[in-house]
Amino acid sequence: MPELPEVETVRRGLEPAMTGQVIDHAEIRRPDLRWPLPDRMADRLAGRRVERLRRRAKYILADLDSGESVLIHLGMSGRMTISGAAPGSFHHERLLAVKHDHIVLDMANGARIAFNDARRFGMMDLVATATAETHPLLAQLGPEPLGNGFDETYLVAALAGRRSPVKAALLDQRVLAGLGNIYVCEVLHRAGIAPTRRCDRLARARVAAIVPVIREVLQEAIEAGGASLRDHRQASGELGYFQHRFRVYDREGLPCPREGCSGTIRRIVQSARSTFLCPQCQR
């Protein structure tokens, strides 16, 4: 599933083609994705100007001049692709019907935006912009890790007294929005913290030190276009490249890349998910 860097990469790719532009025509090719699509969705999108394109955790929101916002989640295999005469550094011919293109937006500037989702685990909804943050999918989310609401004081307080492993706490979207399995593994390796370590057994200074590492890893991943392991593509259709910088994720049996460490990367299972770590330098 795309995590924060992949979703932010898609948002940035869509921005030149969508922000400030009018949706000339919307084609809804099926009544549902993961859940039923909103009533009269095509009519509610056609003729509307996209005022702003933003991200909340792993969701994209397109704020329209109608006072509604399109809430988008890519799910497991969803992609947002651009074809046609879209602004930006790339140009593709406008594509005709493509298998699994379930929602297609023809913009007045000549760009065609398609939501493609082979597995249909993604979703789209239309919500009132003014109250979007109260949507059931957004209401309980924690702060953005790249935002001003996330700092050392917050994380220390959020993890204080928790008996759960630190990895589980960082994956909890109510604690911190947008992090997933890949990036938590990478963060904890850089921080030198074992993912199995209980939160209440971590010193305050060690918890505080996680904050700049989270920001560092996410910024690097965004600059690299995210990580493409299976389905992720940028809006241009290009792959992301952060997978080439992984230190531990999916590197079982390889030497630990930390300078001076002679350990070997191991894979363990936590809450039915793969965790990758170096047992020698992560304590």
CATH of the domain at 89: 3.20.190.10
pLDDT reading at 107 higher than 50: yes
CA-nearest of 16, 115, 132 to 75 is: 115
Res. 235 pLDDT band, cuts 50 70 90: low
Q: Are residue 30 and residue 100 in the same domain, yes or no?
A: yes
Average pLDDT value over all residues in the chain: 92
Q: Are residue 110 and residue 177 in the same domain, yes or no?
A: no
Q: Are residue 58 and residue 112 in the same domain, yes or no?
A: yes
For position 137, what pLDDT does the model report? 96
Structure tokens, 236: 């241009």
Q: Are residue 130 and residue 156 in the same domain, yes or no?
A: no
For position 160, what pLDDT does the model report? 97
Distance of alpha carbon 224 from alpha carbon 222, whole angstroms: 5
Domain final residue, candidates 134, 162, 194: 134
Choose between 234 and 105: higher pLDDT. 105
Amino acid at 11: R
**Contact in structure between 196 and 148 (CB atoms under 8 Å):** no
Share of the chain above pLDDT 70, in %: 90
In a domain, 238, yes or no: yes
In a domain, 141, yes or no: no
Res. 7 pLDDT band, cuts 50 70 90: very high
CA-nearest of 119, 118, 94, 91 to 104 is: 94
C-alpha distances in angstroms, 56 versus 27, 99, 229? Answer: 25, 28, 23
Domain with 233 in it = 152-277
pLDDT reading at 86 higher than 60: no
In a domain, 282, yes or no: no
Instruction: For residue 213, give the CATH number of its domain.
Output: 1.10.8.50
Number of DSSP helices (H) and strands (E) in the chain, helices first:
6, 10
Q: Are residue 89 and residue 165 in the same domain, yes or no?
A: no
Sign, CA torsion 163/164/167/173: negative
Mean pLDDT of 72-100: 71
Res. 228 pLDDT band, cuts 50 70 90: low
**Contact in structure between 75 and 137 (CB atoms under 8 Å):** no
**Contact in structure between 97 and 63 (CB atoms under 8 Å):** no
For position 89, what pLDDT does the model report? 40
In a domain, 130, yes or no: yes
In a domain, 140, yes or no: no
pLDDT reading at 74 higher than 80: yes
In a domain, 162, yes or no: yes
pLDDT for 120-167, tens place per residue?
A: 899 999 999 999 999 999 999 999 999 999 999 999 999 999 999 999
For position 77, what pLDDT does the model report? 82
In a domain, 22, yes or no: yes
Q: Which residue numbers are catalytic?
A: 2-3, 58, 273
Q: Are residue 12 and residue 127 in the same domain, yes or no?
A: yes
